Amino acid sequence: MTKYGLFLTMPSKISTCGTLRMIYLNKNISKNADENIDLDEWKSVVLSGLEKEAFEKASPEEEPNIAAIKEYIDMSRRLGKAAPENITEEQLKRLIEYSSVSSRNRYLAFLASKEMRKNAEKEKKKKQQEERDELRKTIDNEDLTPKSRLFRAIWDSSMDVVYNWKAAQAMSFGQPLVFDMDFNDMSEREMQNTVNQMMECEGANRKAVEPFHLYYCNLKEDGPYHKEFLKRYGDAWNNLFVTATEKSYVELFPRDQIVYLTSDSPNVMETFDHNKIYIIGSLVDKSIRKGVSLARAKRLKLATAQLPLERYFHWKSGAKVLTLDQMIMILLTLKNTGNWKEALEFVPKRKHEGFLDPSLQHFIHRQKNRKMSEQNFKKKLLVEELSKKRLWNGLWEE
């Protein structure tokens, strides 16, 4: 609101022009109020704004809707709403896809917060670098004499060579671990989270004592997974020590050796089998849809298993769903040690209330097996009764 009782508002619809509407809020303003307005000052303000808009207008080659979105972002920034200072063409196109104003504002707020975090991280790194430089100057000014050391310093570049060599060996001799990438119906945010976790998996596997041979199966070229991988890794994607293929795991491995790991499986994983090929569904599902991976395994007639979480933990209420990086850390520990308690340390503590007493584990396992056997017995009796009824009905009809 200006000192003359004027309020500047933006049109509700996005237009390619930058026209501002002026609405009188005070109807009691006298007719001679315009005589008190400093027209020269108002003219300079308006012209400066128009010059800025003309400078930021889209080129003639750009699509009109992109130019309109740019004006919308600029106007939001002027009105004090959350909007990023810099935005990519891809983000602009994504913003156009949102149909409602509220969804666009939420996406702009998300981009603005993301930009603020990046800027804060840059400032933090810059400050840390300045502190390191200052410390280095202080050390250089001191009168230091060379000291003999027992061990040589091992640089990160040397460790990278070792990690890459072990990962290369695993591709020839390592046990396969498959990530199923046939879940293309995830939202954009879920896909980004999935690829983030996959990058964590690749890094953890590369640094393991005995890495797996990672297989990325059902990875369609130019599909959602592939595009997100290329965006994150860039040129390094082609240098990863993984086998990325469009083929399914049933085309690469015998079905009797495959075990699909899913929290919905009725079978509990007892021990880690070095001769099996374990499959993990590359799926991050915020809505926690049950039975997605289990249904896929049943359709392909594959064996399934779940981790023995209830046998080792006082489990809280909630789904027994772990992230991809937690799963690979558990499997790597089992592969190298065979110790369930050590492996399950990677389960977040917020999901459980601690480990069960070892003396109770066998009892709970026995009770669970007894309950399952009772259920199976009841099902068997029901099937026999139904079959007798069908037989009797058949004889009666004859």
* Per-residue confidence band for 148, with pLDDT thresholds at 50, 70 and 90: low
- Residue 243 has phi, psi (to 5 degrees) of -105, 105
Average pLDDT over residues 72-80: 83
| Distance in angstroms (rounded) separating the CA atoms of residues 199 and 193 | 10
d(CA 233, CA 140): 38
Least confident of 25-29, 95-99, 212-216, 312-316: 25-29
Q: What is the mean pLDDT of the chain?
A: 77
For residue 259, what are the β-bridge partners?
Answer: 278, 303
Q: Output 362 or 167, whichever has higher pLDDT.
A: 167
Torsion of CA 143, 149, 155, 160, to 10 degrees: 180
Alpha-carbon span 292 to 281, nearest angstrom? 9
**Nearest C-alpha neighbor of 328 from the set 269, 278, 270:** 278
What whole-number distance in Å separates Cα of residue 260 and Cα of residue 307? 11
Banded pLDDT at 41 (limits 50, 70, 90)? low
Give me the mean pLDDT over the 53-69 stretch: 55
Tell me the average pLDDT across 198-202. Answer: 94
Q: Which pLDDT band, with edges at 50, 70 and 90, does 82 fall under?
A: confident
Which span out of 61-65, 77-81, 209-213 was modeled with the highest average pLDDT? 209-213
- In CATH, the architecture of 174-355 is 3-Layer(aba) Sandwich (3.40)
* CATH 3.40.1280.30 domain locations along the chain: 174-355
CA torsion angle 260 263 266 270 (round to 10): 70
**Residue 243: helix, strand or coil by DSSP?**
strand
pLDDT in tens, 104-135: 888 888 888 888 999 999 999 999 988 888 88
3-state secondary structure (DSSP) of residue 176: strand
Query: Whose CA is closest to 12, among 111, 112, 100?
Result: 100
Task: Tell which wins on pLDDT, 290 or 360.
Answer: 290
pLDDT interval class at 1 (50, 70, 90):
very low
338: left (phi over 0), alpha (psi -120 to 50) or beta: left
